[in-house]
Structure 1
């Protein structure tokens, strides 16, 4: 199976990917990208999913041979994208592969902004520096927004224009990898560097659990699920599938941060219940779209993390 192929490809290279360690065989999406390219997007078993983001790892095969792996983490229309092309295939159709991956993720998530973090560009990654990762993404349309990085890039572009044989030295590549780069699609964020991040929400949850429950997460989940369930009109959930009940409990820690939750319109509260249940459904694709469509939840979390 494609899941087995992904695991073997990683094991033989002494690498690991969360989606391949806890794959959901009921949530495998296959895309045929032309030129012998097959992309397998592998979802995660409900109990091992990320708390807030939707995530699919991928394995790319060229004529049946694994050539690349990576993943995409999506939250409210922004995709964090990571791709690693196996060394022996990097001089081939790498750009074509990356564009087909992004096209497929667009179909899965409908993202409007794509982010590549600085590790992928070479920050603390010798492999990425040696492969010229920054310029690879730059040719695909990704752009930095950090003023310091932009200044370095402008200097390098001037040198390249003056001398076609010029190559940026490693120390300069390290500077170019100093911050994230972004690809803006129609409807994308005007300032993606200021986007809502799952890590910011996680920090708020951690402080909430420490403050209100002395760090006892089990008690926090139990009590917030009961309280949030009452507020959202679903005090009894025994008839739900176990994975959906657990997803609701986990996301209750996020919902509990919203002080005016009880004053939300009924429709918004019902939509939030649907989002929370979808987190534990067989596929995360529906969850991603429902979460992205819940504007009130997004605004509430943005207000909390910016405060």
Structure 2
């Protein structure tokens, strides 16, 4: 893995934006990429991945979004993004049409290995669009079966039922191919690859409702006053007297996390060390590399359960 200077990072982000715009595509992780947070992972045999994080003001409070370019002998052959929450990674994988062929499965497998190496991910998911939901190109390419053959599986009951039917048909007729209607039905659900017991998707969307409810309880429609109240409460709960020494980006991260902190289940019973660890997690969200935040978040003994419940 090569750590790059901000100047080198800016050059690679320009490359990423260029290869996207010439194909009439766009990716927020490139458009708002942080040149300080760009790395190259060399995988051997000419394969490499350029992985970059986003500018602090564009980062989500809990999840971490990164963009990547797949490079072969220095030539961009594909791209995608990663959305990481703790040790879970939602993966989008795309190969430019010119370079589609026999190495796609290998490149995808090495991408997962890279994500595991960089971020410690142990659960990988693919969104329905990647599989063919409202995506005619993915349906035509048989994307769902491509990922199934690489070990990804549905967790929901309906696609598992459809899968059993298709496998039974293939057992009777080795030449059977799923029709488009079946592929669209299968693609309506996420696929998962887990190194541990399957956990499903982290319910990040539910956090927004909790934050909104907490803000409303504190100051009704006066959002600014509610945020100030949350900021004070969160500092008190975590034993912080001030944010002296924090950078502007770290202060921004704190302001976005404070409404979450005050909703954490059981926070009052945490030890002083666990509270200090949470402060480090929040501060890392405003740091140079958002990957540091991912690692600290995943390493915290209670944070993920406090956010999402005992099922995590």
Q: What TM-score do you get using the length of structure 1 for normalisation?
A: 0.92
Write out aligned runs for 1:217-296 (5 A). 217-258=223-264, 260-296=266-302
**Structure 1 Cα separation of the partners of residues 309 and 167 of structure 2:** 39
Match of 2:163 in 1: 153
Q: Does 1:77 align with 2:84?
A: no
Deviations 1:144-168 (A, max 9, x none): 1222211211222233334343321
The answer to whether the 8 Å contact 1:201/1:305 transfers is: no
In structure 2, the gaps of 5 or more residues are 1-10
**Structure 2 Cα separation of the partners of residues 236 and 101 of structure 1:** 41
**Structure 2 Cα separation of the partners of residues 260 and 177 of structure 1:** 38
Equivalent position to 1:133, from 143, 146, 152? 143
Look up the SS of the partner of 1:268 in the other structure.
Answer: helix
Instruction: Provide closer, same or farther for how the CA distance between residues 100 and 217 of structure 1 changes in structure 2, counting only shifts above 3 A.
Output: farther
RMSD: 2.0
The answer to whether the 8 Å contact 1:196/1:305 transfers is: no
Q: Does 1:118 align with 2:125?
A: no
Match of 1:298 in 2: 304
Q: What TM-score do you get using the length of structure 2 for normalisation?
A: 0.90
Match of 1:9 in 2: 19
Instruction: Provide closer, same or farther for how the CA distance between residues 304 and 113 of structure 1 changes in structure 2, counting only shifts above 3 A.
Output: closer
Look up the SS of the partner of 2:309 in the other structure.
Answer: helix
Match of 1:142 in 2: 152
**Structure 2 Cα separation of the partners of residues 112 and 125 of structure 1:** 27
Match of 1:61 in 2: 71
Q: CA deviation at 1:24?
A: 1.0
Write out aligned runs for 1:169-180 (5 A). 169-180=179-190
**Structure 2 Cα separation of the partners of residues 97 and 256 of structure 1:** 43
Q: Does 1:208 align with 2:211?
A: no
Q: CA deviation at 1:305?
A: 9.8
Match of 1:192 in 2: 199
The answer to whether the 8 Å contact 1:67/1:89 transfers is: yes
Look up the SS of the partner of 1:143 in the other structure.
Answer: coil
Deviates more, 1:111-120 or 1:59-68: 59-68
Q: Does 1:27 align with 2:34?
A: no
Q: Count matched residues.
A: 302
